[in-house]
């Protein structure tokens, strides 16, 4: 199990990381970095969680290095708690058979 780079007991701010990266190796580095900082996968190309300011800056540097010269986009959005509380999530259930 990888060691988390941020203490999960530190509250931090809600963060949403969205990415569209075509290169498989680069995309794997982005996913690994998000997981290393304790972010959870929300959707195939989106991770969410809470990060302190210092952890966010570290993650930004790591994602910038992971991206390198590859084409694509990574967006790191800091959210406010009210935005999460006010969000509408519509979840579809997979059908069996």
pTM for the full model? Answer: 0.82
Domains and CATH numbers, the chain: 14-81 (3.30.70.240)
Residues in binding site: 20
- Please enumerate, by residue number, every residue annotated as part of a binding site for Mg(2+): 20
pLDDT tens-digit profile of 35-78?
999 999 998 999 999 999 999 999 999 999 999 888 999 999 99
Strand order through the sheet with 72-78: 40-43, 46-51, 13-21, 72-78
């Amino acid at each position: 199990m990888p060691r988390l780079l941020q203490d999960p007991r530190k509250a931090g701010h809600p963060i949403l990381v969205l990415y569209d990266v075509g290169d498989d190796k680069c995309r794997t580095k982005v996913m690994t970095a998000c997981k290393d900082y304790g972010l959870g996968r929300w959707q195939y190309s989106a991770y969410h969680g809470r990060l302190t300011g210092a952890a966010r800056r570290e993650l930004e540097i790591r994602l910038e290095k992971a991206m390198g010269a590859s084409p694509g986009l990574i967006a790191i959005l800091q959210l406010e708690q009210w935005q999460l509380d006010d969000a509408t999530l519509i979840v579809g259930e997979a059908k069996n058979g």
